[in-house]
Amino acid sequence: MTTPNIVKSSQALDAWWSDAVVYQVYPRSFQDSNGDGIGDLRGITSRLSYLAGLGVDVVWLSPVYQSPQDDNGYDISNYQDIDPMFGTLADMDELLAKAHELGIKVIMDLVVNHTSDEHAWFKASRASKTSDHADWYIWEDPKTGFTGGEKGAEPNNWGSYFGGSAWQWVPERGQYYFHQFSRKQPDLNWENPDMRRAVFSMMNWWMDRGIDGFRMDVISLISKLHDENGKLRGVNGSLLPEEPAGPDGFSSPSPDCSDGPRLDEFLSEMRCEVFAGREGFLTVGEAPGISGERAEHITNPKNGELDMLFLFEHVGIDQRGVGGKWNVTDWKLSDLRHSFAKYEHIVDDGGWTSLFFCNHDQPRIVSRWGDDSTEQLRTRSAKALGLLLHMHRGTPYIYQGEELGMTNADYTRLDQYQDLESINMYHQLVDAKVFTHEEMMAGIAAMGRDNSRTPMQWDDSKYAGFESADAATAPWLEVNANKATINAQAQMADDNSVFAFYKKLIELRHTNVTVALGDWNALDEEDEQVYAFTRIYEDNELLVIVNVSSETARIPQQTRALIDLVREKNALDESRILLSNDDATDSVQELGTGILQPWTALVYEMK
């Protein structure tokens, strides 16, 4: 038997969130209270008892601030007010009061890598090179020898993640501004201390109002690499040469904008200016481009930066080659296991990690890596993937509907999608002949962000209970056609449902110290069908086994040896099955025979 790959416990385990579970709400798709087709704050408040019944500790709200909604609220025009489509500040206060009454904390999305181009800060910045806000954003002159606004005049060849150039010409200022995302989302200049003070002031305003922390959108992108003269790569006079362009004509800004040289400094300053002296809060950063080693540093309490990060290596294992996320390929279980092993090692020297499969930017996991071809397989694979994720050490995140096993949207036409990224990248990649129409539509159907944004399925009525069946306006995005078989009302009445299983998962984390605090030990690390590991805390040891496939599987050698050691001391005992998506008798039988049924998932208490 090989030496166990044990990851030891963290200093961060003393924190209140070490045994917590977070639930993400995408407000426009959660619950519509007024029949306008868009979810809102009052709708969320009306469903808080559902979340309390599920057992979650924290609710994370995607943005509800004032916004032109170019990128569904991630383009903010006023940080200190609520967009009328979602309600009012009074509605927000009511939501906070009700959530706190139910014992649920609320964190808000903090989007401060960029604002909307309709934010007052940007309007002042674009108006004049001498205004007080002139350098609150990233501006550059046209490339030498070109006239601003003409093709090729962009300061460098960086492309936006949403398609096209990452630079937008502004004639009245005579310069280009930088935007990693939509052209309506100009990047803030974090090198400017006045801008940082304004952001921290806004954050304090929300904390004083009663929120419990922030999920920080693409926070790892706020610091950009400059040369010794303060210039970005490839711009006029820069000592850093442009990178070669890809087949779409652009290079990626990611290497120079992810985990930049001043990121630690900015995050430490934020911790000091906003969170010093406060208790019971949570800060989690979305961190594209951050390595496991860097995540360990950022999340170690002694460094005073963030409590935890979202890392993305594991959700990229099925995307390779030209076309990025739209080029969906086969994936290997060993790649997933190796990614999670890196996350678990973040805890080695005191850091912490976030656990997630789904969010508003990712497709539904049961359609992506599970099996939604039949109702039985959908239910079993949804439970199996949930158990696999939640039994790791870290803080699990549930995205709305994940606890029901909601599936991808199953749209077939481009006009059914509303996601800006999907639509823009369709035109860019098809026009550049990177993909055919059919290939790109397949990529969007598999990976498009609207897959997770279809309305929450509360019941089997016309609009799935998202709004009343006689509402004057249809939901902003089409309801999934499978609402009759997948909905909360039916599952809450079914003890064998995915919802019931998730309740047990959450309860297990709350009540079993080994799930929350135990060391992690990977087993059979190269097996491509069975994902197994142990969790050990003091004299208690749990064995977790998941068949991540729709075929029967043989329990691999190292895991089998552990089971044999248990059997030498005592017979396998049904009472030691702490959780399973099978009957306990069947689970013990599978452990005994060494043959797992499709999507079997169980936790066995060995001692």
Return d(Cα 41, Cα 106) in angstroms, integer.
Answer: 12
In sequence order, the β-bridge partners of residue 601 are 546
DSSP track, 51-96? HHHHT-SEEEEPP-EE---TTTTSS-SEEEEE-TTT--HHHHHHHH
Return d(Cα 529, Cα 345) in angstroms, integer.
Answer: 23
Q: Is 353 within 8 Å of 382 (Cβ atoms)?
A: no
* Helix ranges (DSSP H) in 469-607: 488-492, 498-511, 513-517, 557-569, 584-593
Pairing relationship of beta strands 395-399 and 519-523 according to DSSP bridges: unpaired
Q: Is 305 marked active-site?
A: no
Residue 214: helix, strand or coil by DSSP? Answer: strand
Pairing relationship of beta strands 282-286 and 213-216 according to DSSP bridges: parallel
- Torsion sign across C-alpha atoms 298, 302, 308, 314: positive
Closest by CA to 473, choosing from 100, 36, 134, is 36
Q: Is 135 marked active-site?
A: no
Q: Is 589 within 8 Å of 518 (Cβ atoms)?
A: no
- Assign residue 516 a region: left if phi > 0, alpha if psi is -120 to 50, beta otherwise? alpha
* Helix ranges (DSSP H) in 104-235: 120-127, 193-209
DSSP state of 272: I
Other CB atoms within 10 A of residue 413 CB = 7
Cα–Cα distances in angstroms (integers) from residue 44 to residues 62, 362, 488, in the given order? 12, 22, 15
Other CB atoms within 10 A of residue 105 CB = 22
Q: Is 445 within 8 Å of 408 (Cβ atoms)?
A: yes
Of 57, 83, 259, 286, the active-site residue reads 286
Other CB atoms within 10 A of residue 330 CB = 7
Burial of 539 (0-12, 13-18, 19+ CB in 10 A): exposed
Burial of 304 (0-12, 13-18, 19+ CB in 10 A): middle
- Torsion sign across C-alpha atoms 164, 165, 171, 172: positive
Please give the order of strands across the beta sheet that includes 175-178: 139-140, 175-178, 167-170
Closest by CA to 225, choosing from 237, 233, 217, is 233
Of 40, 212, 217, 403, the active-site residue reads 217
* Helix ranges (DSSP H) in 225-373: 254-257, 263-270, 292-299, 333-345, 365-368
Closest by CA to 475, choosing from 69, 41, 37, is 37
Q: Which two tokens stand for residue 531?
A: 């994902």
Return d(Cα 569, Cα 567) in angstroms, integer.
Answer: 5
Return d(Cα 284, Cα 506) in angstroms, integer.
Answer: 20
Residues belonging to the active site? 217, 286
